[in-house]
């Protein structure tokens, strides 16, 4: 159990906010020693213990929303560690393959929660993670686990399996060399020729007043003031975060008309997050208002947050909804991968982009779908204010880094309280909203160019 706990601590330290990412390459070694040659049932329990404390240490910020939910989620996610230990107890050398299969399942089972996958710990290690353009984050996780096994093998020693151990070490060294060679090759390639100037607005609205009726007009005034300042940079597009509009966006409503009139005066296309309604159904949407003040297009969030935006099976068991969401309504999922289009002044053709809302950027298949439909860059609008000043926004941003590499298009992140940043097609975070060296819970905007 001590070895298991040491592994959990090493892995926690490899993720934000600690960012000691190199520890991921040795973080599993104590656990591998702990489960080696144990009965599968005991190996499961030892690994489950490790997984529970790992997720508790990485997802601790969920206590700001729900302590019972945090514990239940950690108890569930620890199962993947347990299953890993169950199989690895008999064959440590299969650990990389087993781990990647389990990560893939974690990202899809029960709607999926691919958060804090092993590969995400390396989101700043640009040469290593370039392989994500063909392997996804899972390929990076595979390489990290290969190194863990190779180092474990060298420490374990023993004359009986020495040849096999050295074969594994040499293979791992060759693999690591090839991965880095590919990474430096991709990083040295030509940049995309076209540029677009984008402004992101970080309103920094406290969660406790976000839906207060008396705060609606001041909130909107704050966003408009920041937008007017950003417009002085002459951007081609301005972006507000998820649910930044403080009531339902509907033509004819007072605040909607005020927003549209303000957008008309500013004269720059505006993408914002808002709740919308159609045929009695409510959607979490990204809405594009043209420079002429026309509500042009909208994308309705496809992958909703279970137990937050909807309750699974509540259509069959209405009591579930009342127990979890009470009097709050549920969102309906969108069905279309909407591609937004703008025509910057002086541009010869339209520029096309897709929007991901909230945690949709942790799902690689959604980002790929937008790019297949013609998106030349992606925008992530989100609100991580729920989680306080913690590692959550940076852990979230690590997913966006991988989506940029996987699709080879830039990603622009706009968050209510941060982390709002710009990511190029190689996964490099090169600009962000920052005040006095702080990214989180600061008010501001940032205008930067993207290459697409």
433 CB-near residues (< 8 Å, 6+ apart): 200, 202, 418, 420, 421, 439, 442, 444, 445, 446
What is the pLDDT averaged over residues 197-214? 94
Confidence at residue 350, expressed as pLDDT on a 0 to 100 scale = 93
Question: What average pLDDT does the chain have?
Answer: 93
Is the pLDDT at 206 greater than 70? The verdict is: yes
Q: Which domains does the chain have, with CATH numbers?
A: 2-187 (no CATH), 195-302+337-451 (3.60.110.10)
Confidence at residue 314, expressed as pLDDT on a 0 to 100 scale = 63
What pLDDT band is residue 75 in, cutting at 50, 70 and 90? Answer: very high
Provide the sign of the torsion angle of the four alpha carbons 351, 357, 361, 366, taken in this order.
negative
> pLDDT tens across 377-404, in order?
999 999 999 999 999 999 999 999 999 9
Three-class DSSP labels, the chain? CHHHHHHHHHHHHCCCCCCCHHHHHCCCHHHHHHHCCCCHHHHHHHHHHHHHHHHHHHCHHHHHCCHHHHHHHHHHHHHHHHHHHHHHCCCHHHHHHHHHHHHHHHCCHHHCCCCCCHHHHHCCCHHHHCCHHHHHHHHHHHHHHHHHHHHHHHHHCCCCCHHHHHHHHHHHHHHHHHHHHHHHHHHCCCCCCCEEEEEEEECCCCHHHCCCHHHHHHHHHHHHHHHHHHHCCCCCEEECCCCCCCCCCCCCCHHHHHHHHHHHHHCCCEEEEEEEEECCEEEEEEEEECCCCCEEEEEECCCCCECCCECCCCCCCHHHHHHHCCCCCCCCCCCCCCCEEECCCCCCCCEEEEEEECCHHHCHHHHHHHHHCCCCEEEEEECCHHHCCCCHHHHHHHHHHHHHHHHCCCEEEEECCCCCEEECCCCCEEEECCECCECCCCCEEEEEEEEC
Question: Can you tell me the distance from the alpha carbon of 423 to that of 444, in angstroms, rounded to the nearest whole number?
Answer: 18
What strands, in cross-sheet order, belong to the sheet with 421-423?
A: 340-342, 351-357, 377-382, 411-415, 421-423, 429-432
Confidence at residue 262, expressed as pLDDT on a 0 to 100 scale = 95
Which residues are known to be catalytic?
242, 301, 358
What is the pLDDT averaged over residues 46-68? 95
> pLDDT tens across 307-361, in order?
788 777 666 666 665 665 555 668 999 999 999 999 998 777 899 999 999 999 9
Confidence at residue 299, expressed as pLDDT on a 0 to 100 scale = 97
Beta strand pairing call for 444-451 and 195-202 = antiparallel
Confidence at residue 45, expressed as pLDDT on a 0 to 100 scale = 97
> pLDDT tens across 136-146, in order?
999 999 999 99
C-alpha neighbours within 13 Å on the C-beta side of residue 171: 13
Identify the weakest region by mean pLDDT among 112-126, 147-161, 258-272, 279-293.
Answer: 147-161
Confidence at residue 236, expressed as pLDDT on a 0 to 100 scale = 97
Query: Which of 449, 433, 439, 436 has its CA nearest to residue 200?
Result: 433
- Residues 419-435 as b/e (b if ≥16 CB within 10 A, e otherwise) read bbbbbbbbbbbebbbbe
Confidence at residue 312, expressed as pLDDT on a 0 to 100 scale = 74
Identify the weakest region by mean pLDDT among 174-178, 214-218, 313-317, 425-429.
Answer: 313-317
Confidence at residue 161, expressed as pLDDT on a 0 to 100 scale = 61
Query: Which of 364, 379, 400, 449 has its CA nearest to residue 191?
Result: 449
Predicted structure pTM score? 0.93
Is the pLDDT at 238 greater than 90? The verdict is: yes
Is the pLDDT at 159 greater than 70? The verdict is: no
For 42, 152, 209, 276, the CA distances from 8, given in Å and listed in that order, are 17, 16, 37, 42
């Amino acid at each position: 159990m001590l070895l298991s706990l040491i592994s959990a601590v090493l892995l926690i330290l490899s993720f934000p906010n600690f960012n000691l990412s190199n520890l991921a390459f040795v973080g599993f070694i104590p656990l591998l020693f702990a489960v080696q040659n144990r009965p599968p049932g005991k190996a499961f329990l030892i690994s489950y213990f490790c997984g529970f404390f790992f997720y508790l240490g990485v997802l601790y910020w969920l206590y700001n929303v729900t302590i019972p939910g945090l514990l239940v989620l950690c108890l569930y996610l620890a199962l993947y560690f347990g299953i890993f230990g169950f199989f690895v107890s008999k064959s440590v050398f299969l650990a990389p393959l087993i781990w990647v299969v389990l990560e893939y399942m974690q990202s899809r089972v029960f709607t999926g929660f691919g958060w804090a996958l092993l590969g995400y710990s390396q989101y700043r290690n640009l040469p290593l993670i370039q392989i994500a353009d063909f392997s996804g984050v899972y390929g990076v996780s595979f390489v990290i686990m290969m190194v863990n096994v190779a180092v474990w093998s060298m420490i374990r020693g023993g004359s009986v399996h020495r040849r096999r151990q050295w074969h594994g070490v040499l293979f791992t060294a060759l693999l690591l060399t090839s991965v880095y060679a590919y990474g430096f090759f991709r990083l040295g390639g030509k940049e995309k020729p076209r540029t677009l100037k984008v402004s992101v607005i970080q309103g920094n609205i406290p969660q406790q007043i976000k839906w207060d009726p008396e705060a609606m007009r001041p909130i909107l005034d704050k966003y408009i003031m920041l937008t007017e300042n950003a417009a002085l940079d002459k951007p081609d597009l301005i972006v507000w975060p998820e649910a930044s509009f403080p009531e339902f966006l509907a033509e004819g409503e007072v605040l909607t008309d005020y927003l549209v009139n303000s957008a008309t005066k500013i004269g720059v296309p505006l993408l914002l997050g808002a709740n919308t309604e159609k045929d009695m159904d409510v959607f979490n949407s990204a809405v594009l208002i043209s420079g002429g003040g026309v509500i042009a297009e909208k994308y309705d969030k496809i992958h909703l947050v279970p137990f937050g935006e909807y309750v699974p099976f509540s259509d069959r068991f209405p009591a579930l909804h009342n127990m979890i969401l009470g009097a709050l309504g549920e969102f309906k999922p969108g069905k279309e991968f909407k591609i937004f289009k703008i025509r910057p002044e002086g541009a010869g053709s339209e520029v096309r982009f897709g929007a991901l809302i909230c945690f949709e950027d942790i799902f690689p298949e959604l980002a790929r779908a937008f790019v297949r439909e013609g998106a030349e860059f992606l925008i992530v609008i989100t609100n991580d204010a729920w989680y306080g000043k913690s590692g959550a926004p940076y852990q979230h941003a690590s997913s966006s880094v991988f989506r940029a590499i996987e699709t080879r298009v830039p990603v622009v992140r706009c968050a209510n309280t941060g982390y709002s940043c710009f990511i190029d097609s190689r996964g490099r975070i090169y600009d962000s909203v920052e005040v006095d060296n702080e990214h989180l819970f600061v008010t501001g905007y940032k205008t930067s160019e993207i290459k697409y």
